Chain A
Amino acid sequence: MTSSIHPVLIIFIGAILVALLKGKWKGLVSVLTPILGLINLISIDRANPDSYVMTMSLMELDLVVAKFDKLGMMFAYLFHFAAIITSIYSLHVRDNMQKYTGLLYAGSAIGAVLAGDLITLFVFWELLAITSVFQIFAKRTKGSSSAGIRYLLMHIFSGLLLLTGSAIIYNATKSLEFRDLDLTSVGPWLIFMAFGIKCGFPLLHTWLTDSYPQATCAGTVYLCCFTTKTAVYAMCRAFPGTEILIYIGAAMAIFPIFYAVIENDLRRTLAFSMINQIGFMMVGIGLGTDTAMNGAVAHAFNDVFFKGLLFMGMGAVLYRTGTINGSQLGGLYKSMPWTTGLTIIGALAISGFPLMCAFVSKSMIMVEAAKAGHTGIWLILLFAAAGVLHHAGIKIPFFAFFAHDSGIRTREAPVSMLIAMGISALACIIIGSFPNQTLYLLLPFGSPENFYQPYDATHVITQLQILFFSVAAFVVLMITKLYPPETPSVNLDFDWTWRKGGKLFYMGADRLLNVTNDKAHRFFIINFIGWIGQFTKSAPSRILVMFMTPIWKVRGLEENALKKKQQSFYEDARLGAFPIGRTAIFAVILLGLLYVL
């Protein structure tokens, strides 16, 4: 059966149904919708060639609302899987708004990765920003609403950059097609920055670490699956082989590590780790070879599963204990054994343990960096890989579930959460163990016979060495008590510039603009207008008086009589109350003047 239903349509209709339905039906539809969407997507994939498109005409523009090529398809599949998992995970959520906006959010992400032109991309890009922010607002705390606003500001700005860039490109090329761009003019640069904001480029990353810990426990899982992955996709499509991405990626891979080590909020630690992982992807895209690009998209694909799993584990801890601060947790393996086990699988997967998914994808990028002779970058990535293991692989499970016993005894996470985590954990293992039969079927670049094969003795052994000696460093530092303890704190980041700087800017703007406004008001509205009014009212009369005075003087009027005459004439002129004779004389003079001139 051939389907020609736009995949987004199914998800959006499902979202509307979820909003309207009540009780158990709500949860059921929220899970069934992405499953139905997935079936639709598979039928489109089976029935059509690689270049299949869906088009639409809008105001004399021919829009490609969906383009089903391999790259877009891979992400569309990914987002359907992610939507299924997140829907199951959030089955416990009773908040209606969070449930249907979650589906709208997933739908927007699917729309964005299938968009064939810049206008469609822009529409879904903005929808992505708007629908996702409800996952943050849904927490309904003061902290979450202000974080949500900051998040929205950043993302709307990204959308505006995309729109401006698109307009400039359309103006220059008369084409709206979304394809690879060169960073040679302003238009592509604006689009590059728009994608960069969503990717979490250094200094623009603050929305990520600011908002993820503020979302609800299910909300953060949603956020981690869609927004940044859409941005990685867009980067892949538009800027493959852009060299600057290698360096940006390396920076992204390295700086969050230090923050992650000293961060107390475990979900923020994961947010930093997210930037670090996207750094790897950026390096892959920057390298631009088939294997490196495949590595980037494969890593984005896997990241949804392992990072999603870690966020789900931490969400479950937050849900049961009410806190996610490392300083307050510990010893939870006693009461949440399943969550512990599943989170450890996520930790192994993100660290790149053999038979786990990141073992496959991270290596593709690293091997390509080495092949291209980027020694420095390769060393940074190796450093970063060890760092990931340190903060995401060890710190997360260790401080939440082991470390010292915090005395917290609680219940195991709800079954729906465990099922969602179980699916992700299974995906991590299956993809890592059988990449050829799973992930590699979806890889968009190059031909399958050239795909990177991760399982050889050298790679397995060196990877195990990396893993075990990173852990060894952790163990040694713990035993010698050199490891910094978890303490309740906030660590300053570039965020400061936006948040404190924003306040300063506001205060400065307030002082400067309001004072200027006040002065301008006094000068223009009160003084100037009054003066103009006075001028227009009295000027003609004064001129007339000036004109008449010599005539009166010639007629020999005395000082006092002249003054009186001037006064009464001025009043008459001001009120326009002249006798008919005088008006006639003026009219004659005026006509005479006109005639002469």
Chain B
Amino acid sequence: MKSPSDTDNSSNPDLEGVVLLKDDGKKYLWDNPLNVKKFIKGFFLVCLVLFLFDFLFLFDVIHKHLSFKEGEFPYEGWVGFYCAYVFVSCAMIVVVAKELRKVLMREEDYYDK
């Protein structure tokens, strides 16, 4: 339960408040996979709606203020720019981080050896 750094001294004041109870077997909201599915569906629906907002910008129903000066970075105004950029960014972060793990990961007590 405890990590090695916690167990090397019993006077650790952070362990004073530890309370570990038994599972009372009660079912909670996310224990039901159906609720999780509903939530994910709802979530993707919101994503879709947000994506569609870009078309309101495109047809100038809502005027889009660009952050950059005119012509400096026109991609910013493209349909789906923000959506695609952050989606790809996040996926990339995870993929790169996973690769990094192969290089960087060591056992928990690496520095104590």
Whether A262 contacts B14 by the Cβ 8 Å rule is no
Identify B106's interface contact among A139, A409, A489, CB under 8 A.
A489
Contact in complex: A468, B6 (CB < 8 Å): no
B50 touches A475 (CB 8 A): no
- Nearest-CB residue, chain B, relative to A370: B67
Tell whether B3 is near chain A: CB-to-CB under 8 Å.
yes
> Are the CB atoms of B111 and A499 closer together than 8 Å?
yes
Q: List residues of A (102-148) whose CB comes within 8 Å of B's CBs.
A: 138-144
Instruction: Answer yes or no: B44 CB below 8 A from chain A CBs.
Output: yes
Contact across chains for B30 and A262 when beta carbons are under 8 A apart: no
Q: Which residues of A contact B101 (CB under 8 A)?
A: 262, 484, 489, 491
* Pick from B22, B62, B68: contact of A458, CB under 8 Å: B62
For residue A328, which residues in chain B have a CB less than 8 angstroms away from its CB?
1
When A318-B14, A459-B65, A490-B110 are in contact, do A470 and B87 touch as well, CB less than 8 Å? Answer: yes
Q: Per DSSP, are chain B's interface residues mostly helix, strand or loop, or mixed?
A: helix
A320 and B17 within 8 A (CB): yes
B14→A143 contact, CB < 8 A: no
Contact of A465 with B14 in the complex, beta carbons under 8 Å = no
- Quick one: which of A258, A367, A462, A491 contacts B82, CB cutoff 8 A? A462
- Tell whether B34 is near chain A: CB-to-CB under 8 Å: no
Given contacts A414-B17, A472-B43, A482-B94, contact A370 B68 (CB under 8 A): yes
Residues in A with CB closer than 8 Å to B20 are 321-322, 408-410
Let me know if A141 and B8 touch, CB within 8 A.
yes
A contact residues around B53 at 8 Å (CB):
461, 465
Summed over the interface, the residue pairs from A and B with CB atoms below 8 Å come to a total of 225
Contact check, A402 vs B94: say whether CB atoms are below 8 A apart.
Answer: no
Interface residues of A in 360-406 (CB under 8 A from B): 366-367, 370-371, 373, 375, 378-379, 382-383, 385-387, 389-390, 402, 405
Distance in Å: Cβ of A417 to nearest Cβ of chain B: 9
Q: Specify the chain B residue showing the minimal Cβ separation from A139.
A: B12
Please tell me which one of the listed residues A323, A411, A458 contacts residue B19 in the complex, with CB atoms under 8 A apart. Answer: A411
Contact (Cβ within 8 A) B86 A216: no
Are A402 and B87 in touch, CB under 8 angstroms?
Answer: no
- Are B1 and A409 touching (Cβ within 8 A)? no
Contact present for B96 and A490 (CB under 8 Å): no
User: Which of A466, A482, A483, A489 interacts with B86 by CB under 8 Å?
Assistant: A466
With A378-B67, A469-B47 as known contacts, state yes or no: A139 contacts B24, CB within 8 Å: no
For the complex, what is the distance from the CA of A492 to the CA of B101, rounded to whole Å?
9
Is the CB of B59 closer than 8 A to any CB of chain A? no
Taking CB atoms, residues of chain A closer than 8 Å to B16 are 94
> Chain A 82-117, CB within 8 Å of chain B: the 1/0 string?
000000000011110010000000000000000000
Q: Is the C-beta of A515 less than 8 angstroms from some C-beta in chain B? A: no
- Contact A141–B82 (Cβ < 8 Å): no
Q: Is the CB of B47 within 8 A of A214?
A: no
Chain A residues within an 8 Å CB radius of B72:
373, 375
* Chain B contacts with A in 65-111, Cβ cutoff 8 A: 65, 67-69, 72-73, 82-87, 89-91, 93-98, 100-101, 103-111
B94 engages A484 (CB within 8 Å): yes
Partner of A262, one of B28, B64, B86, B105: B105
| Whole-angstrom CA separation of A94 from B68 in the bound complex | 54
Give A405-445 as 1s and 0s: 1 = Cβ < 8 Å from B's Cβ atoms: 10111110010000000000000000000000000000000
Q: Are B111 and A490 in contact, with the CB atoms below 8 A?
A: yes
Is A451 part of the contact surface with B, judged by Cβ < 8 Å? no
CB of A471, distance to nearest CB on chain B (Å): 7
**B2 and A322 contact, CB distance less than 8 A:** yes
Looking at B11, B19, B63, B83, the one whose CB has the most chain A CB atoms below 10 A away is B19
Assuming the contacts A414-B17, A459-B65, asked whether A468 and B46 have C-beta atoms less than 8 A apart, the reply is yes
Check if A409 sits within 8 Å of B5, measured CB to CB: no
Contact of A473 with B by CB under 8 A? yes
Q: Which of A139, A262, A321, A333 is B100 in contact with, Cβ under 8 Å? A: A262
B13 proximal to A (CB < 8 A): yes
Find the B residue at minimum CB distance from A457: B62
Question: Within the assembled complex, what's the spacing in Å between the Cα atoms of A378 and B69?
Answer: 13
Do A383 and B97 touch across chains, with their CB atoms under 8 A apart?
Answer: no
Residue ID in chain B nearest A464 by CB atoms: B50
Contacts of B28 in A (CB 8 A): 333-334
What 1/0 flags go to A454-498 for Cβ under 8 Å of B? 001111011011101111111111010011100111111100000
- A227 part of interface (Cβ distance < 8 Å): no
Are A492 and B17 closer than 8 Å at their CB atoms? no
Least CB distance from A401 to B in Å reads 10
Residues of A within 8 A of B44 (CB): 472, 475
B67 cross-chain contacts in A, Cβ below 8 A: 366-367, 370-371, 378
Judge whether A291 is part of the interface by a CB distance below 8 angstroms.
Answer: no
Contact for A472 among B1, B3, B47, CB less than 8 A: B47
B104, chain A: closest CB distance, angstroms: 4
Check A382 against B12 for contact (C-beta < 8 Å). Answer: no
Whether a CB of chain B sits under 8 angstroms from the CB of A335 is yes
Question: What separation, in Å, do the CA atoms of A335 and B18 have in the docked complex?
Answer: 13
| CB closest residue in chain B, given A479 | B40
A214 pairs with B19, CB closer than 8 A: no
Whether A283 sits at the interface, judged by CB under 8 Å, is no
CB distance from B34 to the nearest CB of A (A): 16
Contact indicator A409/B24 (Cβ below 8 Å): yes
Which of A93, A262, A371 has the most C-beta atoms of chain B within 10 angstroms of its own C-beta?
Answer: A262
Residues in B10-61 with C-beta less than 8 Å from chain A: 11-24, 26, 28-31, 40, 43-44, 46-47, 50-51, 53-54, 57
Whether A411 and B82, one on each chain, are in contact in the complex, defined by CB atoms closer than 8 angstroms, is no
Bound form: Cα–Cα A410–B1 in Å: 14
If A92-B17, A405-B31, A469-B47 are given as contacts, then 14 extra A-B residue pairs at C-beta distance below 8 Å, sorted by A number, are: A142-B9, A217-B14, A257-B93, A383-B86, A387-B93, A411-B21, A458-B57, A461-B53, A461-B62, A470-B87, A483-B94, A484-B98, A489-B106, A491-B101
Q: Can you list 9 A-B contacts with CB-CB less than 8 angstroms, sorted by A residue number?
A: A92-B17, A262-B105, A319-B14, A375-B73, A456-B65, A461-B62, A469-B87, A473-B91, A490-B110
